[in-house]
Amino acid sequence: MKNSRSGKLGSAPVFFTAISTILGAILFLRFGFAVGQLGFISTLLIVIIGHAVTIPTAMAIAEIATNQKVEGGGEYFIISRSFGLVIGSTIGLALYLSQAISVAFYVMAFAEAFTSLIDWLTAEFRLSETVVTILKTKQTISIPALLILTYVMLTKGANLGVKMLYVVVGILAFSLVAFFCGETEYAQTMDFDPVRSLENTTGIPSLSFFTVFAIIFPAFTGMTAGVGLSGDLKNPGKSIPFGTMTATIAGMLIYGLIAFKFALSASPAELSDTTRIVMEDIAWQGWLLVPLGLAAATISSALGSIMVAPRTLQAIAKDQIFPSISINHWLSRGRGENQEPFNASVATIAIAAIFIIMGAIDSVAKIISMFFMVTYGSLCLISFLNHFAADPSYRPRFKSRWYFSLFGAVACLGLMFFMSPTYAFVAITAITAFYLFNSYYNRDKQSLAVIFQGAIFQFSRSLQVFLQKAKKETISTWRPSAVAISEHSFQRLSAFDLLAWISHKYGFGTYIHVLKGYLSKETNALAHQYKERLIQMAEDKGSNIFIDTLVSPSYTSTIAQVVQLPGIAGTKNNLFIFEFSADDGKNLHDIVDNLKLIKSVDFDVIILRTSIRGFGLFKHIHVWISTQDYDNANLMILLAYILIGHRDWRNAEIEIYTIIPEDKMQEERERLSKLVEAGQLPISSKNITVIPQQLDVMIETIIQEKSKDADLCIIGFREETVKHDGTELFQRINDIGNIMYVNAAAQKVIIKNKLNT
């Protein structure tokens, strides 16, 4: 995303935006309630647990911001540039809605600051009930307050917003000083008891710890508010870490001191009374200064949110996330030298106005907390994955620790469900809906794959080194680690499909498209182009195969290079797949000429002969066993079993045919039945057919007759026979579907309960 803003703000706006949001409405309206319900120690524990989430998040933000240039959009920019635009915009939309609805929440809380004034006016001037009702309706004060904020933001922008922020933070600070200077009779007559709570003083049951935690936690969620100013900052890499960390630590210390002051100055019963603002009774000149402080706290929080939310929306629109070009263009447009998000501000204020008019903000506030938890967890996860991935380009000036980031990510997820399983489920459902919406309309943008790319690379590297160093044990069972080569990947897909089936569940597969010629800039570019096409094919088919290309001057040099490639899962490749067309047999000579090279490295070999019919209906797999290729028999049966593990072949039946001298037919049938039973293979005894050998009838003729309707025939071949018959061996059978010729380097063992190990 190109950002044309030339930021002018320093670290102070980040700090003041964050601290004014942290010390907000909850502090004045509900924090004393928490102390009354649970006591000082438990409330202090809430502060510590809450900051156990926010401090790792603040450290993660500081780390990420000092590694990359943070442009407009704050948290959204960080997440989208780390997780990709689809995931980033999904979380960004949730974050934006939280910020936009927070404007309504804070403006409505601002109206609470006028409660004492309205009560005084009512008593002093004996106002009528109608007038009192109008005055006590939150919208009476909230709507004008929102309109004033709207005027400030749309006409003056962030610069005046920051100046107003300094004023309201000053008022907030003065009210807190007055609170700490206040004295009460309770403090003079009662000794301080750190565990005194409503329940152990009055016998009235207190709310549970996590119920109170859910009420109080939004007080700690303002520490990222200043990040949203990233596009207006002169040096985001310096201002964001400094402002965010200092605001977070300062907020934690202030909340701890305020909890102590509450416990020292008022009884649990007084603190638990939500119909009055207890801070007024405690503070010096509290009747005036506390409402002013509440007004300052709420209006500053609203001011912070109304500065940040439009910038998040503007950044999302600049990334062309919304399905309409005109919507993206309208929301992304800015005004003035600093590209103030005028249109995005209009949209944000409209959303806030809707929720103010609705008035039912409490339930929505819980969802807001959940969305913030998702955002914080994402930021911690980004930091953790960057540590784990060990990317050399990740060089932040401020470094957190991976275990802090991991703890923050896990804690965010856990606390969501501790706070409210219902709203956690609602939030996760909403995030899922956002993701499906964004991925549908933004298929060209990076999606889930980008999240764990670096981490998976690091894990794969470590795992392969571990497997190579580990002491090898003799494993009697066989698992395919196959490699297939083809020059005709875009004309014949049979080898591509066969490898995908073999590697789907039980094995690993590497598909290599071969370009004949010498390596050059042109052939390398062409190979890269073919690779991308094949990767897209594999993705469209849902195949679990690894794709690569190879430029080589000859078939022999191609095979020599491929057989020396390491396996993709830390195991040696053990199965080589060739393919040729029954129509022309163009590369069959090359295959036959290089079989000796393959056999010199003890590879099992599949030579796939493709026909016009292809794999037919995927219903019938015929396995042909003769007395001459018993060494191949078990591998052929295992391959048939592996194929039916794929969804394409799930309705297929395996039929075994064996041609044997008549005097050994019964013995052979019993042997095959025992083999199938011991190996727990899904082959019915009625599908085992023993055919008497006839000296005057060629085996190929019998196969052609019995398997004319088969979708795939699996036939063994011996190296000695290939030496004698050459290419003719693979061209004798006609008018049937695809044939898979199999040669095993050694006889495979089928052991009961070991097939899937």
pLDDT digits (tens, 9 = 90+) for 344-385: 888 888 888 888 877 655 566 666 778 778 888 888 888 888
Across residues 546-552, what is the average pLDDT? 92
Q: For residue 443, give the 3-state DSSP assignment.
A: coil
Report how far residue 212's alpha carbon sits from residue 206's, in angstroms, rounded to the nearest whole number. 9
pLDDT tens digits along 118-128 = 777 777 777 77
Which two three-digit tokens encode residue 724? 């004698």
Closest CA to 76 of 359, 368, 404, 318: 318
Largest CA distance in the chain: 122
Closest CA to 74 of 368, 301, 309: 309
With a CB cutoff of 8 Å and minimum separation 6, the contacts of 681 are: 637, 641, 654, 675, 750, 755
pLDDT for residue 714 = 94
Report how far residue 330's alpha carbon sits from residue 736's, in angstroms, rounded to the nearest whole number. 62
> Strand pairing of 688-692 and 738-743?
unpaired
Task: Specify the higher pLDDT residue, 227 or 524.
Answer: 524
Residue 425 has pLDDT above 90, yes or no: no
The one-letter amino acid at 48: I
- Name the region of 733 (left: φ>0; alpha: ψ -120 to 50; beta: rest): beta
Q: How many CB atoms lie within 10 A of CB 407?
A: 16
Residue 55 has pLDDT above 70, yes or no: yes
Task: Specify the higher pLDDT residue, 83 or 269.
Answer: 269
DSSP state letter for 335: B
Report how far residue 275's alpha carbon sits from residue 295's, in angstroms, rounded to the nearest whole number. 17
pLDDT band for position 172 (cuts 50, 70, 90): confident
Name the burial class of residue 199, with classes exposed (0-12), middle (13-18) and buried (19+) by CB atoms within 10 angstroms of its CB: middle
Report how far residue 137's alpha carbon sits from residue 78's, in angstroms, rounded to the nearest whole number. 40
Residue 753 has pLDDT above 50, yes or no: no
Residue 578 has pLDDT above 90, yes or no: yes
Do 721 and 607 form a contact (C-beta atoms < 8 A)?
no
Task: Specify the higher pLDDT residue, 83 or 744.
Answer: 744
Report how far residue 91's alpha carbon sits from residue 316's, in angstroms, rounded to the nearest whole number. 11
Chain mean pLDDT for the chain: 81
Do 589 and 729 form a contact (C-beta atoms < 8 A)?
no
Do 510 and 569 form a contact (C-beta atoms < 8 A)?
no
Name the burial class of residue 432, with classes exposed (0-12), middle (13-18) and buried (19+) by CB atoms within 10 angstroms of its CB: exposed
Report how far residue 271's alpha carbon sits from residue 251's, in angstroms, rounded to the nearest whole number. 21
With a CB cutoff of 8 Å and minimum separation 6, the contacts of 497 are: 541, 615, 648
In the block, which residue shows the tokens 């071969």? 514
Report how far residue 497's alpha carbon sits from residue 543's, in angstroms, rounded to the nearest whole number. 8
Percent of the chain with pLDDT over 70: 86
In the block, which residue shows the tokens 């999606």? 447
Q: How many CB atoms lie within 10 A of CB 516?
A: 14
pLDDT band for position 591 (cuts 50, 70, 90): very high
Report how far residue 301's alpha carbon sits from residue 107's, in angstroms, rounded to the nearest whole number. 9
Residue 501 has pLDDT above 90, yes or no: yes
pLDDT band for position 568 (cuts 50, 70, 90): low
Residue 3 has pLDDT above 50, yes or no: no
Report how far residue 626's alpha carbon sits from residue 715's, in angstroms, rounded to the nearest whole number. 9
Residue 452 has pLDDT above 70, yes or no: no
pLDDT for residue 423 = 83
pLDDT for residue 230 = 63
Residue 18 has pLDDT above 60, yes or no: yes
Do 733 and 703 form a contact (C-beta atoms < 8 A)?
yes
> Strand pairing of 738-743 and 604-610?
antiparallel
Name the burial class of residue 478, with classes exposed (0-12), middle (13-18) and buried (19+) by CB atoms within 10 angstroms of its CB: buried
pLDDT for residue 310 = 87
The length of the chain in residues reads: 757
Closest CA to 262 of 27, 49, 20: 27
pLDDT for residue 69 = 65
Which two three-digit tokens encode residue 638? 């295992």
DSSP state letter for 662: G
With a CB cutoff of 8 Å and minimum separation 6, the contacts of 673 are: 685, 688
Which two three-digit tokens encode residue 508? 């690993």
Residue 275 has pLDDT above 60, yes or no: yes
Q: Would you give the distance in Å from CA 336 to the centre of its chain? A: 37
Across residues 400-412, what is the average pLDDT? 88
Closest CA to 673 of 664, 683, 663, 658: 683
> Between helices 129-136 and 115-125, what is the axis angle to 10°?
170
Q: Point out the least confidently predicted range of 448-462, 542-556, 614-628.
A: 448-462
Domains of the chain: 11-449 (1.20.1740.10), 481-743 (3.40.50.12370)
> Strand pairing of 575-581 and 481-486?
parallel
Report how far residue 703's alpha carbon sits from residue 235's, in angstroms, rounded to the nearest whole number. 77
Residue 314 has pLDDT above 50, yes or no: yes
With a CB cutoff of 8 Å and minimum separation 6, the contacts of 573 are: 481, 482, 483, 510, 563, 565, 566, 567, 603
Question: Burial code of 381-399, b = ≥16 C-beta within 10 A, e = fewer?
Answer: bbbbbbbbbebeebebebe
Closest CA to 531 of 580, 490, 560: 490
pLDDT band for position 278 (cuts 50, 70, 90): confident
Across residues 640-660, what is the average pLDDT? 90
Residue 158 has pLDDT above 60, yes or no: no
Across 140-144, 212-216, 402-406, 675-679, the highest mean pLDDT is recorded for: 402-406
